[in-house]
Amino acid sequence: MPYTGAVTVGGPADTREMTGLTVTKLAVGPMDNNAYLLRCSQTGDGVLIDAANEADRLIALIAGTPVRAIVTTHRHWDHWQALAEVQAATGAAVIAHIDDADELPVPVTTRVHGGDTIAVGATSITAIHLRGHTPGSMALCYDAGGTLAGSPHLFTGDSLFPGGPGNTEGDPARFNQLMDDLEERVFGVLPDATWVYPGHGKDTTLGAERPLLPDWRARGW
């Protein structure tokens, strides 16, 4: 079956094959979080994005894949409930943005900044710092072609969803910061074909969301 990204808690994972990388999406926990297993097509090495919940299901998902790192997109508790258990089972490095790292329940091996790259076997993903949802929220971009001209793949945590930016708790300063970062660092540089994998719910594309940017600004959330 072709990849759709429509997964449900307790249901099967959905897997997408692309140049250089395989992405497997699994929904876990009472907050319907998405966890993503990235696997290098060349080496077989893996990276897990957001060990959110249901450690047993995540460990089963990655069975047979040497997971070298677990990346947490931001500090909120629903995105790291399984982090300690999955890290202990895999021995993986723990990676987070420097501004959120101290809020995680285990020591962070590598504290990254926007623009830093994270190895996934023979390829890599790039951190994009998106302030507003939390101080250290980040998206992770995989660009197989290396030119941003094709169809990049963007894992946005809770900073971007179908229909709008992440929750900024009614704070105008945080909302405007997140919108500024999204417009400058995501919509300003990535093409419409960019596939967006959010921290909860269904996927989208930047092309589907771009026309709505003025509406988001106007409504203030």
Q: What is the pLDDT of residues 71-127, one digit of tens each?
A: 999 999 999 999 999 999 999 999 999 999 999 999 999 999 999 999 999 999 999
Contacts 24+ apart (CB under 8 A), 208-216: 208/162, 209/160, 209/162, 209/163, 212/163, 212/164, 213/179, 213/183, 213/187, 216/164, 216/165, 216/179
Give the residues across from 52 on adjacent strands: none
Q: Average pLDDT, stretch 166-184?
A: 98
Give, for 21, the enclosing helix (H) or strand (E). Answer: strand 21-28
Instruction: Look at residue 1 in the predicted model and tell me its pLDDT.
Output: 77
pLDDT exceeds 80 at position 148: no
pLDDT at 192: 95
| Exposed / middle / buried, residue 8 (Cβ in 10 Å: 0-12, 13-18, 19+) | exposed
Mean pLDDT on 159-188: 98
Domain 14-219 listed as CATH 3.60.15.10: yes
| Separation CA 212–CA 133 (nearest Å) | 19
Q: Is the pLDDT of residue 149 over 70?
A: no
Region 136-164 average pLDDT: 90
Residue 144 vs residue 110, higher pLDDT: 110
Compute the distance between CA of residue 50 and CA of residue 31 in angstroms, rounded to an integer.
13
Q: How far apart are CA 30 and CA 195, in angstroms?
A: 25
Task: Quote the percentage of the chain above a pLDDT of 90.
Answer: 95
Q: Are 122 and 20 in contact (CB under 8 A)?
A: yes
Residue 217: enclosing H or E segment and its boundaries? Answer: helix 213-219
Residue 37 in tokens:
């297993």
Q: How confident is the model at residue 29 (pLDDT cuts 50, 70, 90)?
A: very high
Q: What is the mean pLDDT of residues 11-27?
A: 96
What confidence category does residue 144 fall into, taking pLDDT thresholds of 50, 70 and 90? confident
Residue 147's pLDDT is what? 65
- The structure's pTM equals 0.97
Can you tell me the mean pLDDT for 166-194?
97
What mean pLDDT comes out for the span 49-74? 97
Tokens standing for residue 92: 């993986």
Average of per-residue pLDDT across 158-170: 98
Q: What is the mean pLDDT of the chain?
A: 96
For the residues 19-41, what does the mean pLDDT come to? Answer: 97
User: Rounded distance, CA 147 to CA 100, Å?
Assistant: 29
Q: Is the predicted pLDDT of residue 145 greater than 70, yes or no? A: no
